[in-house]
């Protein structure tokens, strides 16, 4: 039985047979305040290529009342099963189907999500349909290549607002009737319904006026910085319309900040939904604003790449996500007036490290992944689809030229507007404009898995003159279980040479004599060894940095002398991007066990105080904490954590008052505080008996302090209740759930396990908060009994819960803190006996790989101590 799955072969056959014209969807949401179910009526007109053929339409619903095909009533009990309605004996040519059903509100962030705000007790609804969840709201042919127009008619409670893909009409008798959309895929249709607060403006260009709207719950309205959001949005409109040479393709553009959203945002055509954590209630660093801007630009880019032109099937998901990820960073880097022109630094430090991590898992796959069914794609929104694909596009731009690249994109949009495409369609357009044959490039970069390592091989004479320089490329074996073979690839890279200038800064080319131009060399690297004759006969620089400017996608290693200099002077790079590349290289070496955790900590401590990029600083905080929790030799871990805690407090006290660095170090200190003195300071900051000049202990920072106090047994239920009384919001409820789950008692852990695993009552956001609090790195012994419980429960959870809920549990509750051979053995035994689905097998195998990597890194750290 198919259940809720759909195979690629089924989708191809349905697309061969059917051409869909239009949907008319009527939803009665008048009872949304109370919840339960709602009436959904779908009328869809479509053509069949064959008379007498059979097909099916998708629907997930508690009850189906009517199915009328071409005027003939079908027995709903007979034709509706396994999320499908059978459509027998179709006419050749035009067919019309009417389906009347009761559909259900959800609390999982899938389909039509319903949330009640504790501030005003009002319900707020929004849809989330990617990948296959439009069928939870109306009957649909749920695959991206069966595009159609969609007309929504919605009945809503008095005083509410209804927003959809088309401009919002004036309601009549609480009924909102929208104009049909252009031809789009079902997964980017949207409805957002409730008493939302809104701010409106327009985007004006060349005599056109595009209405802009921003929405959030009234309880967040005081924090909504609409002007800043509109500014980034207009920047994106200007840059994308110029680069794509195609006007924004929809009638209006609304951005809706919605509660309990599972992802960062969703590119619904003309009605983008965004997690409302991006409406900042407390002070955040500039890095948070940069991430929000990137999210806004990512979704806006999707209006062209994904919505206007859509992949034919989910194996080309990367065409949507990789391009939008590249476009967000490029827009921030190059758009006039951008507040974040160093976005490639953030990209190198965050997105590419995500890609490198994903590409070394047993589940690694080609960018153009093999997607056999919906179960495959649901777990494929990963670091390869987004970050590796975007990195490869960045290299492609360097390879063919930015102007040629965007001319190809322009031709692609004009040729395929409102249609569906495959990889070959984009490559064909790029070949036409660049004059390059991209077939070999595509095969090596898009159709193979794995990552390359680039190392410099440098020889010098007694006077420090380079006598030989080459770049060695390695193709490490793919992780056990991964499909494919190691592949050497062509790389377009730059090599930067850096020396200390008179001000003690590492500057590219500072040691190069005037009149000479070899501070940066750009070249193609191919095969195992690529000589670089341009550097032969030159003085050996302090630092040689392969892949300078981050043009290619590869793990980069430093030679021995460069590593020594970087260890002493990493914070002294004059520019942020080479610093970020060296930080990323050091982190990758630590993850691979090539750099002991204790040595990685020393490297970070030597340079982080000089790091000006706040996004890099915050990434280093996360990486150091992970290294100490997972990669440090257990016998040394507490020593390392104590050293890090002292350093965090020292940096906190030294940071400029009210600065981003001060706030970031406050959060880092709160996360690692463990001694009595440190915990006393957290408590004093929380109750106001101590202050640090310039540090605003506001709502969100208070919760960070309290979480750590709860996790160490210094804050009880009464303290958590008191804090929740101060912050009686949905965010406060989630923070409180995390704090309660973090308490270091068997009773607290049992309560969380029962609420998350043994019950399905928690909404998605509350479940996520409880899981985050449950897993505390210094509670390993307390959590040890839950390893066995996990393996006993996870398959049933995966089969019985919705995808989003099951994924949270399968990933979040895996015993990743039990770093031992016993955990690997227990995982292997479960994999061998449980017969999990392919998607669940992938999730558990990825979790296992994390434990395996941690064990290797711990051994490397212990060996470094023994050798010292």
List, in order of start, the domains of the chain with CATH numbers: 8-194 (2.60.40.1730), 226-244+274-449 (1.10.390.10), 453-562 (2.60.40)
pLDDT of residue 605: 96
Strand 420-421 and strand 310-311: the pairing is: parallel
Q: Is 104 helix (H, G, I), strand (E, B) or coil?
A: strand
Tokens of 735: 């923070």
* pLDDT at residue 509 is higher than 70: yes
Nearest-CA neighbor of 475 among 453, 449, 442, 447? 453
Average confidence (pLDDT) over 697-726: 98
Q: Is the pLDDT of residue 416 over 80?
A: yes
Phi-psi region of 344 (alpha: psi -120 to 50; beta: other; left: phi over 0): alpha
H or E stretch at 439: helix 439-445
pLDDT tens digits, residue range 726-743? Answer: 999 999 999 999 999 999
Q: Which residues pair with 211 in a beta bridge?
A: 202
Interval 748-772 mean pLDDT: 98
Q: Residue 624 in contact with residue 644, Cβ under 8 Å?
A: yes
CA distances from 54 to 77, 86, 421 (A): 18, 7, 26
Q: What are the pLDDT digits (tens) for 162-178?
A: 999 999 999 999 999 99
Q: Are 192 and 163 in contact (CB under 8 A)?
A: yes
What local confidence, expressed as pLDDT, does residue 2 receive? 64
Per-residue pLDDT tens over the stretch 15-64: 999 999 999 999 999 999 999 999 999 999 999 999 999 999 999 999 99
Cα three-residue angle 416-185-247, rounded to 5 degrees: 45
Q: What is the Cα–Cα distance from 546 to 440, expressed in whole angstroms?
A: 24
Q: Calculate the dihedral angle through the C-alpha atoms of 746, 749, 755, 756, rounding to the nearest 10 degrees.
A: -140
The first and second tokens of residue 606, run together, are 């030597």
Question: Which of 606, 692, 694, 603 is CA-nearest to residue 649?
Answer: 692
Which amino acids are annotated catalytic? 299
pLDDT on residue 516: 86
Rounded to 10 degrees, what is the CA torsion of 413, 415, 419, 420?
A: -80
706-740 b/e with 16+ CB inside 10 Å = b? Answer: bbbbbbbebbeeebbeebbeebebbbbbbbbbbbb
- Reported as a pLDDT band with limits 50, 70 and 90, residue 1 is very low
Spatial neighbors of 367 by CB under 8 A, at least 6 apart, are 318, 322, 384, 385, 388, 389, 392, 445, 446, 447
| Residue 515: burial class (beta carbons within 10 Å; 0-12, 13-18, 19+) | exposed
Task: Copy the structure tokens of residue 792.
Answer: 């006993």
For range 757-783, the mean pLDDT: 97
Per residue in 302-350, pLDDT tens?
A: 999 999 999 999 999 998 999 999 999 999 999 999 999 999 999 999 9
Q: What is the mean pLDDT of residues 570-591?
A: 94
pLDDT tens string 216-240: 999 999 999 999 999 999 999 999 9
| Alpha carbon distance 823, 849 (integer Å) | 11
Structure tokens at 428: 């064909």
Contacts of 305 (CB under 8 A, 6+ apart): 319, 320, 323, 324, 327
Q: What is the pTM of this model?
A: 0.97
Beta bridge partner(s), residue 523: 493
pLDDT band at 118 (very low <50, low <70, confident <90, very high): very high
User: What mean pLDDT do residues 284-288 have?
Assistant: 98
Residue 274: closest CA among 246, 310, 251, 302? 302
- Non-local CB neighbours of 849 within 8 Å, separated by 6+ positions: 360, 361, 362, 479
Nearest to 38 by CA among 153, 195, 159: 153
Q: Tell me what percent of the residues of the chain surpass a pLDDT of 90.
A: 96
- pLDDT tops 90 at residue 188: yes
φ and ψ at residue 591, rounded to 5 degrees: -65, -35
Let me know: does 306 contact 188? Beta carbons within 8 Å: yes
CA-nearest of 322, 340, 454, 324 to 389 is 322
Residue 694 in this model has a pLDDT that exceeds 50: yes
Compute the mean pLDDT over every residue in the chain, rounded to the nearest whole number: 96
- Among 119, 279, 314, smallest CA distance to 198 is for 279
DSSP 628: I
């Amino acid at each position: 039985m198919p259940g809720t799955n759909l195979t690629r072969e089924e989708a191809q056959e349905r697309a061969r047979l059917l051409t869909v014209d239009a949907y008319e969807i009527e939803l009665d949401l008048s009872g949304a305040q109370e919840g339960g179910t709602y009436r959904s009526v779908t009328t869809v007109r479509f053509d069949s290529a064959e008379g007498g053929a059979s097909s099916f339409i998708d629907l997930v619903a508690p009850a189906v009342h009517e199915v009328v095909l071409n005027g003939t009533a079908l027995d709903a009990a007979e034709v509706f099963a396994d999320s499908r309605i059978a459509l027998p004996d179709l006419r050749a040519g035009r067919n019309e189907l009417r389906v009347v059903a009761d559909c259900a509100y959800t609390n999982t962030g899938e389909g039509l999500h319903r949330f009640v705000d504790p501030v005003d007790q009002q319900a707020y609804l929004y849809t989330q349909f990617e990948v296959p969840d439009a069928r939870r709201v109306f009957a649909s042919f749920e695959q991206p290549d069966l595009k159609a127009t969609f007309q929504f008619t919605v009945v809503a409670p008095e005083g509410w607002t209804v927003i959809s893909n088309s401009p919002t009409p004036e309601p009549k008798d609480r009924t909102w009737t929208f104009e049909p959309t252009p031809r789009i895929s079902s997964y980017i249709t949207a409805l957002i319904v409730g008493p939302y607060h809104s701010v409106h403006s327009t985007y004006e260009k060349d005599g056109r006026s595009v209405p802009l709207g921003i929405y959030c719950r009234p309880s967040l309205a005081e924090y909504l910085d609409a002007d800043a959001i509109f500014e980034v949005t207009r920047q994106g409109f200007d840059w994308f319309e110029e680069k794509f040479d195609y006007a924004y393709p929809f009638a209006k553009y609304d951005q809706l900040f919605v509660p309990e959203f599972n992802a960062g945002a969703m590119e619904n055509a003309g009605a983008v939904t965004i997690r409302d954590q991006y409406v900042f209630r407390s002070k955040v660093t500039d890095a948070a604003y940069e991430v929000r801007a990137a999210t806004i630009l990512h979704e806006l880019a999707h209006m062209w790449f994904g919505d206007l032109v859509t992949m034919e099937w989910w194996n080309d998901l990367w065409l949507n996500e990789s391009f939008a990820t590249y476009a967000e960073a490029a827009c921030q880097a190059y758009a006039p007036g951008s507040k974040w022109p160093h976005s490639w630094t953030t990209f190198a430090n965050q997105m590419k490290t995500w890609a490198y991590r994903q590409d070394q898992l047993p589940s690694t796959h080609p960018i153009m992944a093999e997607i056999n069914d919906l179960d495959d794609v649901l777990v494929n929104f990963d670091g390869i689809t987004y970050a590796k694909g975007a990195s490869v596009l960045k290299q492609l731009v360097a390879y063919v030229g930015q102007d040629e690249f965007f001319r190809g994109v322009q031709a692609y949009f004009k040729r395929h507007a409102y249609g569906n495409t495959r990889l070959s369609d984009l490559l064909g357009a790029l070949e036409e404009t660049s004059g390059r044959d991209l077939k070999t490039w595509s095969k090596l970069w898009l159709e193979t898995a794995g990552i390359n390592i680039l190392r410099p091989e440098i020889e010098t004479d007694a006077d420090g003159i380079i006598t030989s320089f080459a770049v060695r490329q390695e193709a490490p074996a793919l992780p056990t279980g991964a499909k494919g073979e190691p592949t050497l690839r062509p790389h377009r890279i730059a090599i930067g040479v850096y020396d200390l200038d008179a001000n003690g800064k590492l500057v590219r080319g500072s040691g190069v004599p005037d009149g000479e131009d070899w501070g940066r060399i750009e070249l193609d690297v191919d095969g195992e060894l690529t000589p670089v004759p341009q550097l032969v006969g030159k003085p050996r620089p302090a630092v040689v940095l392969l892949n300078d400017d981050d043009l290619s996608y590869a793990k980069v290693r430093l030679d021995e002398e460069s590593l020594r200099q970087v260890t002493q002077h990493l914070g002294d790079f004059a520019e942020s991007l080479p610093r970020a590349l060296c930080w990323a290289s050091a982190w990758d070496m630590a993850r691979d066990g090539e750099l002991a955790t204790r040595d990685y900590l020393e490297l970070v401590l030597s340079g982080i105080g000089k790091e000006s990029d706040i996004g890099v600083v915050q990434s280093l905080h996360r990486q150091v904490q992970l290294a100490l929790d997972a990669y440090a030799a257990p016998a040394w871990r507490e020593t390392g954590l104590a050293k890090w805690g002292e350093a965090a407090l020292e940096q906190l006290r030294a940071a400029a008052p009210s600065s981003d660095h001060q706030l970031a170090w406050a959060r880092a200190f709160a996360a690692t505080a463990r001694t009595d003195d440190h915990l006393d300071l957290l408590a004093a900051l929380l109750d106001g008996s101590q202050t640090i000049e310039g540090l605003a202990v506001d709502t969100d920072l208070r919760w960070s302090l309290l979480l750590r106090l709860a996790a160490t047994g210094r804050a009880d239920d009464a303290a958590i209740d008191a804090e929740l009384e101060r912050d009686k919001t949905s965010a406060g409820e989630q923070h409180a759930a995390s704090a309660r789950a973090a308490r270091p008692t068997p009773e607290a852990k049992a309560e969380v396990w029962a609420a998350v695993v043994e019950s399905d009552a928690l909404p998605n956001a509350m479940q996520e908060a409880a899981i985050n609090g449950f897993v505390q790195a210094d509670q390993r012994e307390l959590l040890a009994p839950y390893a066995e419980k996990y393996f006993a429960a996870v398959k049933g959870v995966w089969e019985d819960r919705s995808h989003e809920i099951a994924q949270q549990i399968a990933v979040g509750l895996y015993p990743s803190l039990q770093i031992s051979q016993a955990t690997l053995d227990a995982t292997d035994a479960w994999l061998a006996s449980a017969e999990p689905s392919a998607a669940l097998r992938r999730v558990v195998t990825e979790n296992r790989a994390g434990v395996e990597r941690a064990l290797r890194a711990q051994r490397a750290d212990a060996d470094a101590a023994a050798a010292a």
